[in-house]
């Protein structure tokens, strides 16, 4: 894990680790489903709608469907431990984080790097039930780091 991510956000994760659980990676992310585009009026609405096509693959009740979205302004952290993958949310003060989602590590098959969307890098998290979710991050290194910890996944048709 990049040391800067650990120094910056590690204190927010400690309260959510089980005894003996080891923190492996933290990536600041934005789920594609619920992400809003830039611009104004109709152009913003159209851009956001296009960007969210395929944000979640899998039907109701899948692991991907349960992934958080439409979040308030704050810091969203995809957190990987030796046992689990967690999604933690911290408000603007970054004094504490709260868990919004989590699965055993075995439920995550891997990370698939996707074509970049303007400024943000995009990746897909694939799950054991065949579902997947698209996620954005400002740092391409975050995708590489997650892939090193969780493994790489190929695009599923």
Sign of CA dihedral 155, 32, 79, 24: positive
Residue 21 is predicted with a pLDDT of 97
Contact 153, 112 (CB under 8 A): yes
Contact 64, 133 (CB under 8 A): yes
Residue 35 is predicted with a pLDDT of 59
Contact 28, 143 (CB under 8 A): no
Contact 56, 79 (CB under 8 A): no
pTM of the shown model: 0.84
Residue 77 is predicted with a pLDDT of 96
Q: Which domains does the chain have, with CATH numbers?
A: 3-12+22-150 (2.30.29.30)
pLDDT values of the chain reduced to their tens digit, one per residue, 157 residues: 556 787 889 899 999 999 999 999 999 999 988 655 544 555 545 555 555 556 889 989 999 999 998 888 889 999 999 999 999 999 888 889 999 999 999 999 999 988 766 678 899 999 999 999 999 998 889 999 999 999 987 665 5
Residue 116 is predicted with a pLDDT of 67
Residue 38 is predicted with a pLDDT of 47
């Amino acid at each position: 894990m990049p040391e800067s991510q650990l120094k910056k956000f590690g204190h927010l994760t400690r309260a959510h680790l089980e005894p003996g659980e080891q923190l492996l990676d933290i990536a600041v992310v934005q789920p594609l489903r619920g992400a809003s585009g830039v611009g104004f009026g109709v152009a913003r609405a159209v851009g956001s709608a296009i960007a969210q096509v395929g944000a979640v693959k899998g039907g109701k009740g899948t692991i991907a469907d349960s992934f958080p979205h439409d979040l308030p302004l704050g810091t969203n952290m995809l957190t990987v431990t030796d046992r689990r993958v967690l999604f933690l949310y911290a408000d603007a003060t970054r004094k504490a984080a709260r868990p919004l989602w989590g699965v055993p590590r075995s439920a995550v098959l891997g990370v698939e790097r996707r074509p970049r969307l303007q400024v943000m890098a995009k990746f897909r998290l694939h799950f054991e039930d065949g579902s997947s979710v698209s996620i954005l991050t400002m740092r391409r290194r975050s995708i590489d780091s997650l892939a090193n910890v969780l493994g790489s996944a190929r695009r599923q048709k």
